[in-house]
Amino acid sequence: MDFKTNSNQELWTDILISNAITIELAEKGKATSDPIELLIKRLSKNPLWQNGEFPKIELPSTATIEQVASKVFQMISFDQGRVTSYKILQIKKVQISGSLPDRYTTVLVQTNLGEKIVLLKYGGETLGWWSRVYDKE
């Protein structure tokens, strides 16, 4: 009888550990497929990513993310040309380690030039909206 109890306990322990590993692997796989999460991980590794010029988006803090994204695409161009059409797929608040302040809004956008990720942060009346646009990896 003792042997059977130990055997069942070992069996259940093996099943629980196996299921936990499967769930952990599934969660890791899911996280790495999110283009926004991939970008945030990459930026968090290099504190100099914030350096460089950016267009001054003169909209109030009350502007919608859609209004800010629209203004960004009006003001910038890419090697392939300008974004002439786009559709917002996802808006997500993120935190990027190593930057202060570290809270940003990301916008995943399908454009005529492919998928882009727009990174936004309101910098006050003097700076307006800070923005940076990345290609989806």
What are the tens digits of pLDDT across the range 81-126?
999 999 999 999 999 887 666 899 999 999 999 999 999 999 998 8
CA dist list (Å): 24 to 2, 34, 38, 40? 33, 16, 18, 21
User: Whole-angstrom Cα distance, residue 45 to residue 90?
Assistant: 24
Poorest-pLDDT segment among 19-23, 32-36, 73-77, 98-102: 19-23
Whole-model pTM: value is 0.73
26 pLDDT above the threshold of 70: no
**More reliable by pLDDT, 13 or 57:** 57
| Domain extent listing, the chain | 1-33, 35-135
pLDDT at 27 (0 to 100): 53
Give per-residue burial for 81-120: e unless 16+ CB within 10 Å, then b: eebeebeeeebeebebeeeeeeebbbbbbebebeebbbbb
Find out whether 83 and 70 touch, Cβ atoms under 8 Å.
no
What are the tens digits of pLDDT across the range 48-84?
888 888 888 999 999 999 999 999 999 999 999 999 9
pLDDT at 135 (0 to 100): 95
User: Whole-angstrom Cα distance, residue 49 to residue 104?
Assistant: 14
